[in-house]
Amino acid sequence: MTETLPESIEPYEGISSKAYEHPADKAATAALHAVPMLDTVVRKLVEWRYERALRQFYLGNSVKVGEHQLPELWSAHNGVSRILDMPELYDLYVTWGVRGGAQAVGSGTPMIVVGAELLQQLGPGEQRVVVAHELGHILSDHVLYLTALDILLSVGNGMPFFIGIPFRAVKAVLLEWYRAAELSCDRAATLAVRDPRIVCRTLMVTAGGMPADELSLDAFMTQAMEYETWDDPSDRVRRFFQEIGQSHTYAVRRVSEVMKWVQAGEYDRIVRGEYRRRDQESDVREEASDAMEFYAERFRTIFAEIGENLSKAGSQLGGTADQLADWIRARGGPFGKGGGPFGKGGGPFDRGAGPSDDDEA
C-alpha cells in the first residue's frame, strides 16, 4: 500500500486539540482548565517534582534521537510535528522498558520516550503514528490534567472540599476520561498521517506484538467488527466489567472508534481546513458546564444497559451514577465554583493497564 509521506501533507496551521478531541476528553480538560491557577501551580509542580529529574535520567541513560541518531525516527518526528503545527520540536528518546511502549513526559518542556521493544516492531508509517499520538497528548496537555486528577484521588479525602465525594464513581469517570484521551490522540495521529488504515495497522501491531508485514489488517478489521457486534448479553456484561477498570480502550475498539470518527465526517472536515484554531478557544466555563451533563448522562446510559442484564448490580451502579451527578450539581460543576487540587500524570500508547499510584507520565 502506498503511504502519504509527511512532506506532501500540508500542516494544520494553528489547529487546536479541541478540533478533534473526543467529547469526554474535551469536557474533562475544559473543567480542569476552569480551576483558578491550576495551570500555573500544577505546571510548576510537574516540573519540579519529576520532569527535570526524568530529563536528566533519559539524557544519561537512553538514546537521544536526532539527525545522526535513528534518522528515520527523527524524520518521522519532524514530519508529524510540522503537520500538527506543534509549538516546538520536542526532544525524543529511545530506551528499553518504557511502560506502555511510548510516553509523553512533562508539561513545561515536554519530551517523548519510545520503547526499543515497540520500535523494533514498527515500520515508517507506524513510527509516525506512535510519535503523532504522543504529540497529541502534549497538544491536549494531558500530562498536566492527569497530574491534577492524580492528586485529587490521592489527597482528596483529606480536603474539606471533597467531603462526601463518591470516590468509586469518580474513579470510574476518570478512567472513562483516560480512555477517551487515548481516543483523542488516535485522532491526532490519523490527521498527522492522513490515513486511518495506518493508525489501525499500528494498533494491530501493538495488540499482536508482531510487525505489520506478518499480520493481516483486513483480518484485524474483521475481528474489530466481530467484537463490536457480539450480541450475547452475558458476555457483554463481562466485557463491561473488564473494560471499565482499564485506562486504555482495547485495541480492536480503538480501531472501531477511529473508523467511526472518520465515517462521521469529522476527519474530512478538518482535512479541508475547517477546524478550531488555538486562538479561537471557546469559553472554558461553558465547556466545564457541558462536562457535568456529559458524564452524568454517559454513565446513566452505561449502567442502564448493564441493568437490563444484571438488575441488582445495574441498580447499584445506576444509583452510583446519580450520586455522582448530584454531588457535581451541588458544587456547580465537576471541580466546584472556585478551586481545586493538582498533581502528576501522562499518556502512554499501549495495550491498556489501569493507572496506579506510582504511574509515571
Give, for all 361 residues of the chain, the pLDDT tens digit. 556 666 789 999 999 999 999 987 887 777 666 666 767 777 777 777 778 888 999 999 999 999 999 999 999 999 999 999 999 999 999 999 998 899 998 888 899 999 999 999 999 999 999 999 999 999 998 988 776 666 655 655 555 544 455 556 666 667 778 888 999 999 999 999 999 999 999 999 999 999 999 999 999 999 999 988 888 877 777 777 777 767 778 999 999 999 999 999 999 999 999 999 999 866 656 665 565 666 666 556 655 555 555 554 444 445 544 554 554 455 444 434 333 322 233 344 544 443 333 333 3
Q: Tell me, what's the pLDDT at 348?
A: 41
- Give me the domain span that covers residue 70: 10-330
For residue 173, the tally of other CB atoms under 10 A from its CB is 22
| Count of the separate structural domains present in the chain | 1
The contacts of residue 154 (CB under 8 Å, 6+ apart) are 343, 357
For residue 165, being part of any structural domain is answered with yes
C-alpha to C-alpha distance for 173 and 169, rounded to whole angstroms: 6
d(CA 199, CA 194): 9
Q: Would you say residue 261 lies in a domain?
A: yes
What pLDDT, on a 0 to 100 scale, did the predictor assign at position 50?
A: 77
Q: From CA 294, how far away is CA 31, in angstroms rounded?
A: 12
Cα gap 201→125, rounded to integer Å? 9
Residue 72 lies in a domain: yes
Q: Which long-range contacts (CB under 8 A, 24 or more apart) does 231-236 make?
A: 233/308, 233/309, 234/309, 236/309
Asked, for residue 352, whether it belongs to a domain, the answer is: no
- Judge whether 361 lies within some domain: no
Flag whether 357 is in a domain: no
Judge whether 275 and 12 are in contact, CB under 8 Å.
yes
Name the burial class of residue 114, with classes exposed (0-12), middle (13-18) and buried (19+) by CB atoms within 10 angstroms of its CB: buried
User: Is residue 341 a part of any domain in this protein?
Assistant: no
N-term to C-term CA, the chain: 34
User: Which among 168, 139, 192 is positioned nearest to 29, based on CA atoms?
Assistant: 139
Within-domain flag for 348 = no
CA distance 359 to 182: 16
